[in-house]
Amino acid sequence: MKVLVCHNYYKTTSGEDIVVQTDMELLRAAGFETLEYRRDNAVIESYGVPQYLRFAVRTLYSKQTSTDIENLVRAERPDVALVQNVFPLISPSVYYVLARSRVPIIQLVYNYRLVCAGATLYCRGRICERCLGGNYFHAVRYRCFRDSAGLSALYATTLAAHRYIGGFHRTIQAYVTPDRFLRNKLVSAGYPEDRMFTLNNPFDVGRYRASFRHAGYFLFAGRLVKEKGIFTALRAMELLPDCRLLVVGAGQAEAAAQQYASERSLGNVTFLGLRYGPDLMSVLDGARAVLVPSEWFDTCPVILQQAFACGKPVIASDIDGIPEVVSHGVNGLLFPPGDAAALARGMAELAADEERRLRLACNARRMAEAEFTPQRRIDGLRAVIAFATRIACAAQTS
């Protein structure tokens, strides 16, 4: 079977970029022939309004994408398409071309872009669900995308237009989410429940070696933005002068986080910048536990799977789909989002009780071995592909 994978890569490598690459690797290993249609935000020199306005029309509908996909489908004749991120360069035009070409479409959903111009359901420092009903223009009022009214209007217009003409509903045969929470949010926003599937992120636990030892420090690894909880982690470290925290990542709040740590003389916090692959694994190897202090509806971050695969317990916010992976007192600890004191207590508990930490670590690895395997992902994708193909065939013959 020939699978076309479509993804718009981010300027800084994201969890979505990692999972799409992993999916293609797993599909190839399972005997699928994969094709990739990719665009890359690296061509966008800056994220200011002037640069984005260059891409405004193409974000709404890209003639280049339309032509590229038409030619690719004609030449390669894929059996099915897995579409991940289409913004801003691929654009929703990909759906219409694939539909006209009678290629079944499976939408892989790893953020809230289908229902939120900012893609996070997070606005002005708090959870926001104003646009779930379909009125995306709340995003303009609250400047939800990069704090810009102009850019927010661009995304709000694009989402509203394609929702109205059915690009996100009528052209797509199946949707795949990494957790039930995200699935339920899409359903509450009007997406078809009978076309929803939930599969864990693509992952191969066999590539990871469990290391139950540690070098005494805790680890935060992720985008440095407020909604990921970096400031909650830093506030917790103010309460734990005898603990160490290593911070891996970059993002819009990186300078502010470093300034916060400097102003409060947090010598127990070290910022390491971006780390990927073996460099990240070397840091993860020495971690006592991994912090995931999300304050938004985080969508099963890849670091959860990486931590469990490496035999590291996770101390995470009790929010959205995270409790579907992290079981309190079993393979990690949960705390109320934004509660730095509760996070500090959890860290202190694991620092003081090595026997308990080791028990959580072993359970984390066991879960990874049972749940985060290539076979589970491929079996799930086979079922979704069969479903999408049936739906597409039925529509063509009706």
pLDDT at residue 257 in the model: 98
Domain range annotation of the chain:
2-203+374-397, 205-371
- Please list, residue by residue across 206-226, b when 16 or more beta carbons sit within 10 angstroms of its beta carbon and e when fewer do: eebebbeebeebbbbbbbbbb
- Residue segments in the chain with a per-residue pLDDT below the cut of 50: none
Query: For residue 106, what is the enclosing H or E element?
Result: strand 105-108
Query: Residue 247 corresponds to which tokens in the numbers above?
Result: 């911070």
What is the model's pLDDT at position 48? 57
Q: Which CATH architecture has domain 2-203+374-397?
A: 3-Layer(aba) Sandwich (3.40)
Report the C-alpha gap between 232 and 335 in whole angstroms. 11
Say which residues have a Cβ less than 8 Å from residue 305's Cβ, sequence separation at least 6.
200, 201, 203, 205, 325, 368, 372
Q: For residue 181, give every residue at least 6 positions away whose Cβ sits within 8 Å of its Cβ, in sequence order, or none.
A: 297, 320, 321, 324
* DSSP code, position 328: B
- Domains 2-203+374-397 and 205-371 fall in the same CATH topology: yes
Q: What is the pLDDT of residue 394?
A: 86
- Tell me the DSSP string of 181-232: HHHHHHHHTT--GGGEEE-PPP--GGG--------SEEEEES--SGGGTHHH
pLDDT of residue 334: 98
pLDDT at 51: 57
| Per-residue confidence (pLDDT) for residue 43, from 0 to 100 | 83
Task: Identify the pLDDT of residue 318.
Answer: 96
Note the CATH architecture for domain 205-371. 3-Layer(aba) Sandwich (3.40)
Closest to 347 (Cα-Cα) out of 237, 225, 223: 237
The pLDDT, as a whole number, for residue 50 is 59
